[in-house]
Amino acid sequence: MTSPEPETVRVRFAPSPTGFLHVGGVRTALYNWLVARGQKGTMILRIEDTDVERSTEEAVTAILDGLRWLKLDWDEGPDVGGPVGPYRQLERYTLYRDAAQRLLREGKAYPCTCLPEELAARREAARSAKPAPQHLCPCRTAGPTPGRRQAIRFSATARARVGWDDLVQGRIEVAADEIDDFIILRSDDRETPVYNFAAVVDDALMGITHVVRGADHIPNTPKQILLYEALGYPVPAFAHIPLVLGPDREKLSKRHGDVALQAYRDQGYLPEAMINYLVRLGWAHGDQEVFTREELIKAFQLERVGASPGIFDRAKLDWLNALHIRQTPLDVLADLLAPFWGAAGVDPRTVEARSRTWLVQAVALFVERSKTLLEMARSMAFLFAPPAARDPKAEAKFLTPDHLALLAETRQALAQAPDFSAEALEDLVRRLAEARGRKLVDYAQPIRVALTGTTVSPPIFPVLALLGREVVLNRLARILGPG
């Protein structure tokens, strides 16, 4: 009772719903979540939809779905509510207006009636000017032009330097005269706030203690600090995590291919693998590469996040995904595969027609050789229907007249095999090979090509057992032709 209540950590993930949930954003969400869960703090989800033009409901849905899929849960947010809501900026306009009014009253902001064209022209001129002009907008001293729409501009007057101790980047400082007065409320009918203003008002009102976001926000931070001070709010701690880059070392974007989380889900990446991959991109815990969620919560420290950007490496993601697939129980995998049959060209009904034990046995044969669930479903397709086409090179190599003769003999033996189990079949075919002084490959590969259409498959005898005598004999007959 006497010990003071430790200040609880409050962090937030604040995406703008203008597109899909980007893997870079996912990592930001993950780091925030890890901070919250690791310190028994609070994770807040806030939707930054003040850009009415570009924000969409679909994007909001995609963001929530994506986070749920990854099991990155939040304690307060648009769907669950919370004590400092609402959690959509669209519903918080009066808060921003009130804050702006206060700054206006206190002389810390002023109405601006500059036209966008005027501003653009002055900006253009300023770019080449030797000493950069102090202000792009004259309204602060000249006053607003009557009869024009008014925006509200913040007076960025401050002491010589603005700086902060960034939890991952270290000390960052800029000269205060680098910061020109900036718009906080637009001149539109609804007087919508601009990002920097809305973010500060919200973070302050929501009691955010640690702002964990992408390094692309570093240039915004001095402006925001000025705003916190003008508004009389405590300045939170900042942690700017390095950007995720594409192979060309530029900020990851659509032109780099798959950047939407959904793309990875649709290709059969597991949430555990995505998290495991993303967390290690910019952070390390000794030499450990593989983590469970619990281990991450325990081990993660913001201070251990590196300051340099990292390139998204699909190959390593693949490795981790394969690894997490192998660690997933077979029956769970069987369920996880369900959404992928269609894309793999398999009629889901033929899958449902099989027993659960059969399916699990089948999955067991493919876990070790699949990088994604989609890939697994695809390579399992031949179990449910004869291969649509056979690899011509495989045929040329393993369905020669010589091989076909062996195959015909094998088919006879299989037809009469008393026991169609993998072990018995292997024993049987090995005997055949031995009797003729041939290698097992000369039997295994032709069978494989005949049944699967390719030279690659799990061990052939378990496959035979799984397919069952009837299917096997039929498919072999099709290769061997009549007679």
Subset of residues 84 to 123 that bind RNA, contact rule: CB under 7 A: 112-116, 119, 123
For the CB of residue 260, give the shortest distance to RNA in the complex, in Å.
Answer: 16
CA angle 379, 385, 388 (to 5 degrees): 75
Residue 241 burial by Cβ neighbours in a 10 Å radius (0-12, 13-18, 19+): buried
Identify which of 385, 388, 379 has the alpha carbon closest to the alpha carbon of residue 354: 385
Given candidates 458, 466, 467, 479, which one binds RNA under the rule CB under 7 A?
458
For the CB of residue 370, give the shortest distance to RNA in the complex, in Å.
Answer: 7
Given candidates 186, 256, 390, 397, which one binds RNA under the rule CB under 7 A?
186
Residue given tokens 């420290």 in the structure block: 301
C-beta closer to RNA: residue 125 or 353: 125
The region of 170-178, 258-266, 292-300, 328-336 touching RNA under the rule CB under 7 A is 170-178
Q: Which residues, listed in sequence order, are joined to residue 182 by a DSSP beta bridge?
A: 154
C-beta closer to RNA: residue 150 or 348: 150
For position 154 contacting RNA by CB under 7 A, the verdict is no
For position 456 contacting RNA by CB under 7 A, the verdict is yes
Distance between CA atoms of residues 333 and 305, nearest Å = 33
Given candidates 12, 210, 293, 448, which one binds RNA under the rule CB under 7 A?
448
Q: How many residues line the site for RNA (CB under 7 A)?
A: 87
Question: What is the footprint of RNA within residues 405-434 (CB under 7 A)?
Answer: 426
Active site residue 371: no
C-beta closer to RNA: residue 1 or 160: 160
For position 69 contacting RNA by CB under 7 A, the verdict is no
C-beta closer to RNA: residue 436 or 439: 439
Strands (E), 107-197: 109-112, 151-154, 161-166, 170-175, 182-185
C-beta closer to RNA: residue 149 or 298: 149
Other C-beta atoms closer than 10 Å to the C-beta of 395 total 17
C-beta closer to RNA: residue 32 or 50: 50
For position 280 contacting RNA by CB under 7 A, the verdict is yes
C-beta closer to RNA: residue 17 or 271: 17
CA angle 165, 167, 173 (to 5 degrees): 30
Given candidates 42, 169, 321, 410, which one binds RNA under the rule CB under 7 A?
169
For the CB of residue 222, give the shortest distance to RNA in the complex, in Å.
Answer: 8
For the CB of residue 296, give the shortest distance to RNA in the complex, in Å.
Answer: 14
According to DSSP, residue 187 is labeled S
Residue 130 Cα distances to 35, 65, 138, 175, 473, angstroms: 45, 50, 19, 17, 85
Strands (E), 35-167: 42-45, 109-112, 151-154, 161-166
Angle in degrees, 0-180, between the axes of helices 401-416 and 422-436, rounded to the nearest 10:
130
Question: What is the footprint of RNA within residues 234-263 (CB under 7 A)?
Answer: 242-243, 245, 248-251
Given candidates 282, 302, 341, 372, which one binds RNA under the rule CB under 7 A?
282
User: Rounded to 5 degrees, what are φ and ψ at 389?
Assistant: -145, 155
C-beta closer to RNA: residue 105 or 171: 171
Distance between CA atoms of residues 155 and 35, nearest Å = 34
Given candidates 26, 63, 151, 201, which one binds RNA under the rule CB under 7 A?
151
Q: Which residues, listed in sequence order, are joined to residue 203 by a DSSP beta bridge?
A: none
Distance between CA atoms of residues 290 and 100, nearest Å = 48
Largest CA distance in the chain: 104
Catalytic residue among 254, 298, 393, 439: 254
The contact mask relative to RNA for 202-231 (x = CB under 7 A, - = no) is: -------------xxxxxx-----------
For position 190 contacting RNA by CB under 7 A, the verdict is no
For position 125 contacting RNA by CB under 7 A, the verdict is no
Going by their DSSP bridges, the two strands 151-154 and 109-112 should be labelled as antiparallel
Contacts of 473 (CB under 8 A, 6+ apart): 411, 414, 415
The contact mask relative to RNA for 337-376 (x = CB under 7 A, - = no) is: -------------------------------xx-------
The contact mask relative to RNA for 303-332 (x = CB under 7 A, - = no) is: -x-xxxxxx-x-xx-xx--xx--x------
For the CB of residue 108, give the shortest distance to RNA in the complex, in Å.
Answer: 17
Distance between CA atoms of residues 232 and 254, nearest Å = 40
For position 51 contacting RNA by CB under 7 A, the verdict is yes
For position 396 contacting RNA by CB under 7 A, the verdict is no
User: Rounded to 5 degrees, what are φ and ψ at 42?
Assistant: -120, 130
For position 133 contacting RNA by CB under 7 A, the verdict is no
Q: What is the DSSP string of 463-476?
A: HHHHH-HHHHHHHH
Active site residues: 254
